[in-house]
Amino acid sequence: MENTPPTLRCFNENHCAELFPDDGVETVTSEEQKKVERNIEEVLSVYKQIHSVPEPTLLREQHYQYLKKGLRTLSDAYECLDASRPWLCYWILHSLELLEEPIPAAVASDVCQFLAHCQSPTGGFAGGPRQHAHLAPTYAAVNALCIIGTEEAYGIIDRSAYCAASVASLTNILTPKLFEDTPGWILRCQNWEGGLGGVPGLEAHGGYTFCGTAAMVILGKEHMLDLKGLLRWTVSRQMRYEGGFQGRCNKLVDGCYSFWQAGLLPLLHRAFFRDGESELSLQRWMFEQQALQEYILLCCQNPAGGLLDKPGKSRDFYHTCYCLSGLSVAQHFGNVDLHREFILGKEENRLAPTHPVYNICPEKVAAALQHFHRLPVSGQSSAPSSSSHQQPAPAADGELS
């Protein structure tokens, strides 16, 4: 493990030089940006007053208690997510696995049975019992079941581009015919900025850029993208003062993009590595890993547990999941054969690695692939083999393989 630098960015006297310059022209956008920076400046100022020796701490126990309670009981504030209940299962379970907290067998079985009630008789999972099936909750449900990783969980899975490709590759139903026109459509979503929009012609957005790129990686077609343009757009989304990421150009920092944007960098690193890029680092991702860890640990933790968008916002399970996922990406570089850790603060801050394509832990990806590759693909008479259908492109054990 690499020792962290002794000085945090916020203790550097030049840190304020990174504040947003509006060039004397005030706009609604610039005022919102400066408001966020003032809030963060206040948080950092309080931290510096309290801690003469900087050592950011991940509030593991508080986060664990918050997540554990959420698996059993939710407040009425979550009523608006009634059609996203598999997502709540996934966000909480993935956060727990990143914290390396075991999921009791009884709780895991209860989650499995609930998700079974969300499964549609026509295929896929719905956002709740007796609702219509949809790709997004199908992705969340399959990821949640793969995190649990028991025979009961796998048995429930009856086998939008990223959600579909992710589910298909994890469950061994990824055939060339199934996605033959998908890469071309995703390619049309990449615009002049370098990132990808939700549909062709729209503004580049962090969530859609990650989903489109990860889908191309799964399909083995990432080389079709303008990778250097994509890299330029992605690294430009890391905020100079805050250290976290924004989702789009001229937008505000948001903790969830700690994964949606930073998670792109392992995918791009892998693509450039395969292309033989000679100047590629074999020690660090192509973003400021310390800066992102500082933002998450100092600005995104609720003292009572859970993580959030930015100072002044409320905690929720979505931001808890993706802040922790981004923190994991920033802590771990490489794969099983070439692995480096960069942990800011105490060793207890270390999270488990997360797979950059599926965003569940690599060993859970490997177990799911092993289980479902023993099963035949629907509609094929031959036994499953390496030549019977297209294999998922990303290796289960890491990013550079």
- pLDDT one-digit tens code per residue, 300-346: 999 999 999 999 999 999 999 999 999 999 999 987 677 899 999 99
- pLDDT at 387 (0 to 100): 35
Residue 70 pLDDT exceeds 70: yes
**What is the tens place of the pLDDT at every residue in 23-49?**
889 999 999 999 999 999 999 999 988
pLDDT in tens, 260-299: 999 999 999 999 999 999 889 989 999 999 999 999 999 9
393 SS3 class: coil
- Contact of 35 with 253, CB cutoff 8 Å: no
Percent of the chain's residues with pLDDT above 90: 75
Q: Nearest 10 degrees: CA dihedral of 258, 168, 213, 255?
A: -10
- CA 113 to CA 124: how far, in whole Å? 15
CA distances from 264 to 163, 198, 231, 257, 286 (A): 16, 16, 9, 10, 10
Quick one: which H or E segment has residue 138?
helix 135-148
- Residue 248's pLDDT is what? 97
Determine phi and psi for 182, rounding to 5 degrees. Answer: -70, -45
Mean pLDDT for 72-94 is: 95
Instruction: Look at residue 52 and tell me whether its pLDDT is greater than 80.
Output: no
pLDDT at 385 over 90: no
Please check the confidence at residue 380 and state whether its pLDDT lies above 60. no
Question: C-alpha dihedral over 133, 134, 137, 142, to 10 degrees?
Answer: 80
The yes-or-no verdict on residue 233 having pLDDT over 50 is: yes
Does 386 have pLDDT greater than 90? no
The reported pLDDT for the residue numbered 176 is 86
pLDDT at 335: 73
Quick one: what percent of the chain has pLDDT higher than 70?
92
Return the active site residues: 205, 248, 251, 254, 256-257, 309, 316, 319
Average pLDDT for 112-133: 94
Residue 161 has pLDDT above 70, yes or no: yes
15, exposed or middle or buried, with CB in 10 Å at 0-12, 13-18, 19+? Answer: middle
Give me the chain's average pLDDT, please: 90
**Structure confidence by residue, pLDDT tens digits, 167-203:** 899 888 888 889 999 999 999 999 999 999 999 999 9
If pLDDT is split at 50, 70 and 90, which confidence band does 389 have?
Answer: very low
Q: What is the pLDDT of residue 278?
A: 85
Q: Is the distance from CB of 229 to CB of 272 less than 8 angstroms?
A: no
Other CB atoms closer than 10 Å to residue 132's CB: what's the count? 12
Segment of 22-31, 73-82, 88-97, 167-176 carrying the highest mean pLDDT: 88-97
Model confidence band, residue 6 (pLDDT cutoffs 50, 70, 90): low
